[in-house]
Amino acid sequence: MTVWVAIECPHCHSTEVTKYGKSPVGKQRYCCQNVDCPYRTFVLTQTYPGRTREVKQQIVEMTLNGSGVRDIARVLHISLTTVIQELKKTRTPQASESKTPTAAKT
């Protein structure tokens, strides 16, 4: 008995997906046929957990709750560098704007 599983693009949620070879670690790669999709190729299951959206969201949430960078890396089983890079990406521009020196009153 053959079972067909519909593969959905994680970026544009299109079901127009074809197989696109294998990744260097042997995982099946897919290509989205939607021309409006921002990313053309993807892998369903990531090898490294730090690349998933859920873990990236947990990094931000744990930081807001006061966890340190080393604690986050240890709990989520990811690299310290991954945590730091993700926090740099999610830094809000409002924080940098508020640090600009104000004009001196004359």
What are the pLDDT digits (tens) for 89-98?
A: 887 665 555 5
Q: Is 38 exposed, middle or buried (0-12, 13-18, 19+ CB in 10 A)?
A: exposed
Other beta carbons less than 10 A from residue 30's beta carbon: 19
Question: Which residues in the chain show pLDDT less than 50?
Answer: none
Predicted TM-score (pTM) of the model is: 0.59
Q: How far apart are CA 35 and CA 40, in angstroms?
A: 8
Residue type, 19: K
> What pLDDT does 94 receive?
55
Give the model's pLDDT for residue 31: 92
Which pLDDT belongs to residue 52?
Answer: 83
| Apex 35 CA angle, 43 and 47, nearest 5 | 10
